[in-house]
Amino acid sequence: MTGRVIVITSGKGGVGKTTTSANIGTALAKAGNKVVLIDTDIGLRNLDLLLGLENRIVYTIVDVVEERCKLKQALVKDKKNPNLSLLAAAQTRDKTSVSQEQLKDICDQLKKKYDFILVDCPAGIEQGFQNAVAGASEAIVVTTPEMSAVRDADRIIGLLEAKEEIESYKLLLNRVRPNLIESNDMMSVEDVVEILSAELIGVIPEDTGIITSTNKGEPIVNDETSLAGQAYRNVAKRIMGEDVPFLDLTQPKGFMAKIKNLFTKLKGKV
């Protein structure tokens, strides 16, 4: 079998790459796929925390490339889902500890045994980014409806387009706040898609549940009642090729708005 290698990247830090990796990975595994998450943020690892696996890590990606252990030994199985494994980043080293060729080699080995290999990319466009992208053939560009995040996403898209190995890239819009969009204080999903002219794979609403789920080391896709969790599950389905409509994130309307709506409807009938 040949698995798909997808890099999750953004350029700007703090837009939710790691949260996205953890959630999409968990959702794909829950749907029955064999998934490996690779944390390439060497020196600043966090994916282990979001999955609640920080106490189980013995070997890291640097141990694998420096041949202190076999690749299989460094894969940490998730607590709940045996389909999901993590290859952690080293915390005490830096991005130069791994080369592009080495990462590509690791991805190629994992492709033979897993359905999906998700590569969590560090912020920036330097070696860490180049490493993370090296083994991937697809990319998910995470951004938020903020100017700096969109600008950085545009830069990343330019770099991805220049890479022959990347066959396709999709946009994931994170931390969307429908009430701010409605009041015209924030760029809408359509605005961002138009500016970046990229295909959308998901829209994730801002959700305080993300904070509590991170604190517990439990990805929010495991929470069936969460809207953000639902949005991430939909992203996973779209990755698997299902045609899932985007969630309607508009807030339930107030009393006045309902009356106004009623009048406009009546007006239309008359």
Partner 1 sequence: MKDLFANLYNKVLSFFHQSENKDRESAKDVACNRLKLVLMQDRTNLSPAIMDRMRNELIDLLSKYLELDKELLDLNFEQEDEQMALMLSIPVIRAKEESEILALLEAEEAGVNEEEVDEDEESDEDDNSDDVQEEKEETDESEENASDTPDEEEPENDSEEEEEK
Q: Which CB atom, from 88 or from 198, has the smaller least distance to partner 1?
A: 198
**Chain center to CA of 61:** 20
15 binds partner 1 (CB under 8 A): no
Which member of 187, 210, 228, 231 binds partner 1 (CB under 8 A)? 187
Phi and psi angles of residue 199, each rounded to the nearest 5 degrees, phi first = -80, 140
159 binds partner 1 (CB under 8 A): no
256 binds partner 1 (CB under 8 A): yes
Supply the minimum distance, in Å, between the C-beta of residue 151 and partner 1.
Answer: 6
Stretch in the footprint of partner 1 (CB under 8 A) among 76-84, 95-103, 108-116, 150-158: 150-158
3-state secondary structure of 168: strand
Distance CA 32, CA 37 (A): 15
10, 170 in Cβ contact below 8 A?
Answer: no
Supply the minimum distance, in Å, between the C-beta of residue 107 and partner 1.
Answer: 30
Contacts of partner 1 in 43-102 (CB under 8 A) = none
Which member of 5, 76, 98, 186 binds partner 1 (CB under 8 A)? 186
Q: What is the DSSP letter of 86?
A: E
264 Cβ contact list (under 8 Å, min separation 6): none
Q: What mask, x for binding partner 1 by CB under 8 A, covers residues 194 to 233?
A: -x-x------------------------------------
Distance CA 149, CA 268 (A): 41
What string of DSSP letters covers 218-241?
--GGG-TT-HHHHHHHHHHHHHTT
The residues of the shown chain that bind partner 1, judged by CB under 8 A, are 147, 150-151, 154-155, 158, 181, 184-188, 191, 195, 197, 256
